[in-house]
Amino acid sequence: MKKKNKKSKLVSICIHITFLITCLLIIIPFVLTIGISISSEKDIYTYGYRIIPKNIDLSAYKLLFSAPEVIVNSYLVTILVVVIGAPLGLVMTAMIGYVISRKDYRYKKILTFFVVFTMLFSGGMVSYYMTMTKVLHVQNSLWALILPGLVSAYYIILMRGFMSDIPMEIIESSKIDGASEIKTFTKIILPLSKPALATIGLFMAFNYWNEWYNALLFMDGNKLVPLQLLLVRMLNSVDAMTSNPQVLQQMMMSGMDISTIPTLTLRMATAIVAVGPMLLVFPFFQKYFTKGITLGSVKG
């Protein structure tokens, strides 16, 4: 018996080591990027990127916050998209998900097929692009970022799974009390499905926050640049930050030498400022995500 315990202890140590290495592989890239962002540009030219910087130099952050127009604007655009898109999409998803979860709804079958079919077949990228630009004319507007994420078959099916757990008796008793279907939905169903709404709502919010595909396809100008698109542009060249005349002017006014803009550290600092807040908030919501995924996978 004792021998066995020793063996299982060894196994559990091995497992811990595996997971610790995995976690390190995930965390180190972030630490390295933070390290770069607080290095001095000169050190990078001589020593390269280091996890622990030789000299700590916050000039990249100072630069970012001395002329914050670009990044603040990107934050605002992203927040606006999340704040409009996620609640709007969530309500639409809840409404249709509830209706197709109702076994007594007459058009349940055809409507479910209508939803699921969008998972099977799509027009492809080009006709999607054409629809958005030539038919809806939403390029370079917030709608190009909001519309595509509003309703997706996957979340509708997930919502249907949650809602089908609500007992039919509750709905029927509400109807007997004389409530209309819409009133039943808002007064009874929505309060009952708070956990589902929280989970799916969070997924939608994070999706909107991380949205880059539509931004890349439809946003050309400098006005409505969400965070992710700003990062795309800066990955190609730091000019995205420094080509803004307003920013340049502010830099000059604050006595900065434009020829010595720390491009390498500035790029990483922007990435950190863009994802940092989300990474800090994330652990608090992780529970809901785990729940959402497992329920989704079990129910299909």
Partner 1 sequence: MKDFLKNEMILWKKNRGLTILTLPAVIVLIVMCYLPMFGIIIAFKDYNYSLGILNSPWNGFKNFEFFFKSSDAWRITRNTLLYNSAYLIAGTSISVLFAICMNELSKRWIKVYQTVMFIPYFISWIVVGYLMTSFLDTQYGLMNRIISTLGGNTIGWYNTKAYWPFILIFMNIWKYVGYNTVIYYATIIGIDPSYYEAAKLDGAGGIQMIKYITLPMLKKIIIILFILSLGNIFRGDFGLHYFGTNNAGALYSVTDVIDTYAFRALRQMGDIPMASAVSAFQSTVGCITILIANRIIKKIDADAALL
**Cβ nearer to partner 1, comparing 72 with 125:** 125
Q: How far is the CB of 127 from partner 1 (least distance, A)?
A: 3
Q: How far is the CB of 258 from partner 1 (least distance, A)?
A: 22
**Cβ nearer to partner 1, comparing 116 with 250:** 116
Buried b (16+ CB within 10 A) or exposed e, 271-300: bbbbbeeeeeeeeebeebeeebeebbeeee
- 152 near 87, Cβ under 8 Å? no
**Cβ nearer to partner 1, comparing 209 with 224:** 209
C-alpha–C-alpha distance, residues 116 and 203, integer Å = 19
Q: How far is the CB of 163 from partner 1 (least distance, A)?
A: 12
Q: How far is the CB of 83 from partner 1 (least distance, A)?
A: 18
**Cβ nearer to partner 1, comparing 116 with 198:** 116
Q: How far is the CB of 158 from partner 1 (least distance, A)?
A: 13
- 229 near 212, Cβ under 8 Å? yes
**Cβ nearer to partner 1, comparing 228 with 242:** 228
**Cβ nearer to partner 1, comparing 248 with 264:** 264
Q: How far is the CB of 153 from partner 1 (least distance, A)?
A: 8
**Cβ nearer to partner 1, comparing 111 with 248:** 111
Q: How far is the CB of 96 from partner 1 (least distance, A)?
A: 4
